[in-house]
Structure formats: C-alpha cells, structure tokens
Chains A and B, each alone.
Chain A
Amino acid sequence: MLIIECPWCGKRDQTEFSCHGEAHIARPLNTEELSEEEWGDYVFFRKNPKGLHYERWVHAHGCRRWFNVARNTLSDHIHGSYKPGETPPTIDTQEVSQ
C-alpha cells in the first residue's frame, strides 16, 4: 500500500485515491483531421515503462482534485507529487534505477 501526497491535503493512504494512468497526454486539437492510426495512438497506446512513470491521480475520497505523481513502477518508490499545469520534476535516472 502506498502513501501518496495530495498537493492540497498532504500525505494520505493510497486507498483514498484512484489512479488514472499516464500523465501529460494532450488531446489532439485537430480532431477532424486525425487518421485512425493517430486516434488509436492517442486513445489506447501507452508507454507503460518499467521505471519512472508520470501518472495522474485523483483524491477521490478527499478533496477530489487531480494531480500528478512521479513514481518508479519497479520499486513503487514515489519521487513526488505536483499540481496539474506544473512542469514535471526532473528525476535523476541513477536514483530511479535503484
């Protein structure tokens, strides 16, 4: 079980939150012009990395606000949380591989 830091409420048990997958996937603006390949890519294809993952969480049983978390998917170590719109923290990949 993880301890997750909501940028607004602080550290809480993971069961208060729900995870919504890879962060920073921007919805394409020129939707009319997109090919099937581009639509499929946007909707379904994911990086699913073993290691550093930037992901979206929502504090479902708390303030109900969205934010992002940088987490290592191999060790489940959490590097930190940040608010939507903020640039993701750069994380030393040496540290990530530990």
Chain B
Amino acid sequence: MNRYSIFSLIRNSVNYHQDWQRAWRSPDPKKEYDVVIVGGGGHGLATAYYLAKECGITNVAIIEKGWIGGGNTGRNTTIVRSNYLWDESAGIYEHAMKLWENLSTDLNYNVMFSQRGLLHLAHSVHDMQEIGRRGNAIHLNGIDSEFLSPAQIKEMVPFININCRYPVMGALLQKRGGTARHDAVAWGYARAADAMGVDIIQNCEVTGFRMENNTVKGVETSRGFIGAKKVGCVVAGNCSVLAEMAGFRLPIESFPLQALVSEPIKPILDCVVMSGSIHAYISQSDKGELVIGAGSDAYNSYSQRGGFDIIEETVGPVVELYPIFSRMKMLRQWGGIVDVTVDRSPLISKTPVDNLFFNCGWGTGGFKATPGSGNVFAHSIAKGEMHPIAEPFSINRFNSGALIDEGAAAAVAH
C-alpha cells in the first residue's frame, strides 16, 4: 500500500494524478478462510481491520452483496456522539469515540472526523428533566457534556427560532460530538484491511450457511461455497433474513429510515443540532449541503425508500426552528433499512449456532459506533468469547430481561 501524504500528493500531481494505486484489490474468493465477515458496511470492514491489526488473523474475507459502504453506512447522516444514558452504552460509544479521535492517522485515510459539537434541544419540562438526568449520568461516566441556556444556544446558532411552537428551553452539548465522512470510513477501513491481506469480495451475496453438528462451516454465496472456521454477520437491516437462513429468529424488526440534503450553500451551521421531541436534526456538510435526518416509517419494510408523509413531518419542524431555511431546495432524498431492537441498543452476540456471531440491531444510530463495534467484535470472534464491552449486548438479554433501554431514556433516535 502506498502511504498517502503531502509528498505522495505532490508526486502524483506532477503526473496529473494518473498513477494512483487502486485503494484495494478485487480478489477471487479462496476456498476457505479463518474468518468470513458477511456485510461490507462500516462495521464489517472495521471488524476485518481489527481482526488483522489487533488479533493477528489476516486470512479473512468480507463478503458484500453489493458494493462496500452501499448500505446504511453510505446512507446515514453521519452524526457521532457518545452521550448515552446507560453505563453499557457509555462503554461502547465512548470506546468508539476514542478510536474516532485518532482514526484518520491510524488508517492513513482522512475520514474527515470533525468534532464540531452537538446540541440536543429540550422543548418541555419533561425534556429538561431528561437532559438533566442524562447529562449527569454522562458526567459520572467521565464523558463530556454541558448544559446550555437558550441564550447560549442562540450564541452557537444565531438564526435559531427559540420561541417557536415548542419553545427551546435548554440544550445538552457534547463538544466532542460531531460528524465524519461516511464513505471515507468505509473506504479507509477497506484500504487498510486489504493492505494487511483481507480479501474484499463485492457483488457476492450470501444465500445460506453450511452447518455440521450445529457448527458453521462456511457460507453459500452467489459465487459458490466459501469455507470458514468462523463467521461474523454484520448485515444491518438484513440480519433477520440471515438469521432465518441459520435457523433462528432475532428480537429485531426492519424499517426504512430517510434522510435528505439541500442544495449547497455557504457555511452557516457549524455544529450539529438535534431535537428528539419534535424530530428535527440537522448539520451542514463540508460541501455546504444541509443534511437533514428524517424519521422512520412505522411499519416493517425492506423497500429502501420510505414514505412521503415522513418527509413532511421532518421539514415542518426544521422550518419552524430555522425559518431562514424555509426556501431551501432539497436536492436528494433516500432511505436505508434500519434494524431496530425494542431497547434501541445493538446485538453483539454469539448465536444458537457455534462459531457464528452476529453484530446488528444498531438501528437508526450505529454509524457513530463503527470503530468501537468493529473493534470489540473482532476481539470477540478471535477469542470465541465476547469482549467485556460487548458482553451486555448479547441476544440473551431479551430472555433474561436485562435490557439496555436507550429508546425510552434518550427519546432520541440517533
């Protein structure tokens, strides 16, 4: 792998950028791997990267039915934060945050991680109590969070309409929160994993599992059988489909979640602003587009599209909070299929089948966890025992009742 640096940039510019190496190979699948990762999203790619880098397992393949990063990784609104209520969540999201803070250097790839600060608005007494409780819980876990008054919010976002239909009464700020470039995260992990020998196999769909004595032996794919000593499944909205192939069910349902971006404008919004109770969240990309996250449809679907009514419900509050945006034109709108658990926390888990591991259930908010999730999943697969940070996120919690209820606690989807 050629290292990217200011010198490689200069060297290549004199050749009119004709000689850049391909960022990763396109190998044919081998007969067998030590580990096969199903799903080439951020989480799957990160898993393969840390397997190779930290666990010494390089005989690894990532099997992706489409192109890498084409799932929710390339469809999300890229909000990164670690200010969750429960200790278990603080464990995994803060682990991810620490990895984010050094990720571009680690991967030698600019993932454009920008800790521009993230605001959660409160619009009612109940909201104020919620951010109070959560803010203090976050402090106890040693994670940064600050309370802002409406005047302080106005200082950060001068054009916000504080006295709107549901007046802004305060906010919780995580200064270390922000955004990252989603595609770059997929590409950076792919390039770095490939350099250590990981095979990235695109346009190859897993259609079944081969099992003997309740132990997985490999995957059936559209390009034939690929043997594996261990298999990690990281397929987000399609996890129930893969679980069915392996003969079990998951405590998950899949829903379309939408986002939209506006035409690009000059810099106006330099932080991320989220509002759970009226469901409007917004940031501005480095290209200048306003990135607006919408809600999810209220019925199961795999139709990567989403209902039209949801867009209306989303832009209404945005215009109410930011009247200045009322005449913006929207350029694109799309949907991704999110894998939602009832407690809004992920599953990182062994399964009823030996040597088959699942990492899913990240639902509407897993982009921020990408490095941490891949890291602990890699260690869990390598060792055959769940990493301590991953342990509480086992499928068994839905039988024991030890749910990690971030849905009810944070009332914010992302």
Q: Do A and B bind each other?
A: yes
Mark A residues whose CB is within 8 Å of B. Answer: 1-2, 14-15, 18-19, 21, 36-37, 39-41, 43-50, 53, 55, 71, 73-76
Distance in Å from the Cβ of B365 to the closest Cβ of chain A? 19
Which of B238, B299, B305, B399 touches A50 (beta carbons < 8 Å)?
B238
The answer for the CA separation of A81 and B241 in the assembled complex, in Å, is 25
Asked if B4 is an interface residue, CB under 8 A from chain A, the answer is no
Tell me which of A15, A19, A41, A44 contacts B342 (CB under 8 A).
Answer: A44
On chain A, the residues within 8 Å of B241 by CB distance are 49-50
| Residues of B bordering A, CB below 8 Å | 238, 240-241, 244, 249-254, 298-303, 305, 307-309, 342, 398-401
Residue of A whose beta carbon sits closest to that of B251: A44
Smallest CB separation, B406 vs chain A (Å): 16
Say yes or no: B300 contacts A39, CB within 8 Å: no
B303 engages A76 (CB within 8 Å): yes
Given A45-B251, A73-B301, the answer on whether A36 and B399 have CB atoms closer than 8 Å is yes
Choose from A21, A36, A75, A76 the contact partner of B401 (Cβ within 8 Å): A36
Instruction: Indicate if the CB atoms of B300 and A53 lie closer than 8 Å.
Output: yes
Inside 8 A of A44's CB, which chain B residues have their CB? 251, 342, 398
CA distance A44 to B395 in the complex (A): 11
Q: Which residues on B sit within 8 Å (CB–CB) of A37?
A: 399
Of A1, A21, A41, the contact of B300 (CB 8 Å cutoff): A21
Contact A46 B249 (CB under 8 A): yes
Known: A1-B307, A21-B253, A46-B251. 7 other contacts (CB 8 A): A36-B399, A37-B399, A40-B398, A48-B250, A55-B299, A73-B301, A74-B301
Contact between B303 and A48 (Cβ–Cβ < 8 Å)?
Answer: no
- Complex Cα distance A74/B399, Å? 29
Distance between A37 CB and nearest chain B CB, rounded to angstroms: 5
Contact A45 B400 (CB under 8 A): no
B301 touches A45 (CB 8 A): no
- A residues less than 8 Å from B401 (CB atoms): 36, 40
CB distance from A23 to the nearest CB of B (A): 11
- Tell me whether A74 and B300 are in contact (CB under 8 A): no
* Minimum CB–CB distance for B257 against chain A, Å: 15
**Nearest-CB residue, chain A, relative to B313:** A15
Q: Nearest-CB distance from A69 to chain B (Å)?
A: 9
The listed residue with most B CB atoms (<10 A of its CB), out of A14, A18, A44, is A44
Partner of A40 from the list B252, B309, B399 (CB cut-off 8 Å) is: B399
Q: Give chain B nearest CB distance to A22 CB in angstroms.
A: 8
Which residues on B sit within 8 Å (CB–CB) of A21?
Answer: 253, 300
Cβ contacts under 8 Å, B398 to chain A:
40, 43-45
B161 CB to nearest chain A CB (Å)? 26
Query: In the bound complex, what is the Cα–Cα distance between A46 and B240 (angstroms)?
Result: 9
Of all chain B residues, which has the CB nearest A4?
Answer: B299
Contact yes or no, A48 B252, CB < 8 A: yes
Determine whether the beta carbon of A15 is less than 8 Å from that of B309. Answer: yes
| Shortest distance between the CB of A55 and any CB in chain B (Å) | 7
Provided the pairs A21-B253, A46-B251 are in contact, do residues A55 and B300 lie with their beta carbons within 8 angstroms?
Answer: yes
Asked whether A73 lies within 8 Å of B303 as measured between CB atoms, the reply is yes
Tell me, rounded to whole Å, the shortest Cβ–Cβ distance linking B16 to chain A.
Answer: 45
Q: Which residues of B contact A73 (CB under 8 A)?
A: 254, 300-303
State the CA gap A8–B149 with chains docked (Å): 51
Which among B241, B305, B398, B400 has the greatest number of chain A C-beta atoms within 10 A? Answer: B398
Q: Can you give 15 contacting A-B residue pairs, CB < 8 Å?
A: A19-B298, A21-B300, A37-B399, A40-B398, A45-B251, A46-B251, A46-B252, A47-B249, A48-B252, A48-B254, A49-B240, A50-B240, A50-B302, A71-B299, A76-B301
Closest partner residue, chain B, to A40 (CB atom):
B399
Whether the pair A39, B307 counts as a contact (CB closer than 8 A) is no
